[in-house]
Amino acid sequence: MKFVIATHNPGKVVEFKRLLEPMGIQAVMVEDLSEPDETGTTFAENAYIKAAAACRETGLPAVADDSGLCVDYLDGAPGIYSARFAQPGKRRLTVLEKLEGVPMDRRGAHFVSAVCCVFPTGDKVEAEGRCYGTIALSSRGENGFGYDSIFQQDGVTFGELPAAEKDARSHRGHAFAAFEQKLRAYLTAQGHFDDHRED
């Protein structure tokens, strides 16, 4: 079964493939996929907008996520505007600058990931995941992407974690765990595979 990944973010594509392929789903990226206006007011609404647009454009089931960093000290910003919070390459630095001098006990933050799959029939499967931590005092680690290197749990940033451990801890990992259960149930109900088979 082939699903389109409704993103142009190569980091997200890698994570989508890693999480979907064990389910027997071929995850593909379409280079010239258009980008709809993300007019939603929540992560879930924006994930649906992106997945529905990709499904209409390709005629294939499409999966999208909308995710972002919510910083307590910044009243939940950047939130749904995480990808547009500052100039590319300066987003992490902008968060660190806004929190300069703020003590660790006031640097709480969480990541949110809303995942949505839209099928050509109009059906949709969606789930949301969160993970909580703090904003580090500096950017650390070369793994991951986006804000990973400034978000930390237990003194370690997501940028310092190997991929498997990040998946186990991350908002997208939590969202996909819930999404996988819902998607398996949906596909089984549609007769696409036997949910009782050996994985």
Domain count, the chain: 1
In a domain, 198, yes or no: no
In a domain, 35, yes or no: yes
In a domain, 196, yes or no: no
Closest CA to 82 of 70, 90, 97, 98: 70
Model's pTM, two decimal places? 0.84
Tell me the C-alpha to C-alpha distance, in Å, between residue 185 and each of 37, 116, 122, 181, 189.
31, 15, 17, 6, 6
CATH code of the domain covering residue 137? 3.90.950.10
Tens digits of per-residue pLDDT, 104-131? 999 999 999 999 999 999 999 999 999 9
Which residues are known catalytic residues?
Answer: 66
Residue 198 pLDDT > 60: no
Work out whether the CA dihedral 56, 58, 63, 64 comes out positive or negative.
negative
In a domain, 111, yes or no: yes
In a domain, 194, yes or no: no
Q: What is the residue range of 169's domain?
A: 2-189
In a domain, 160, yes or no: yes
In a domain, 195, yes or no: no
In a domain, 69, yes or no: yes
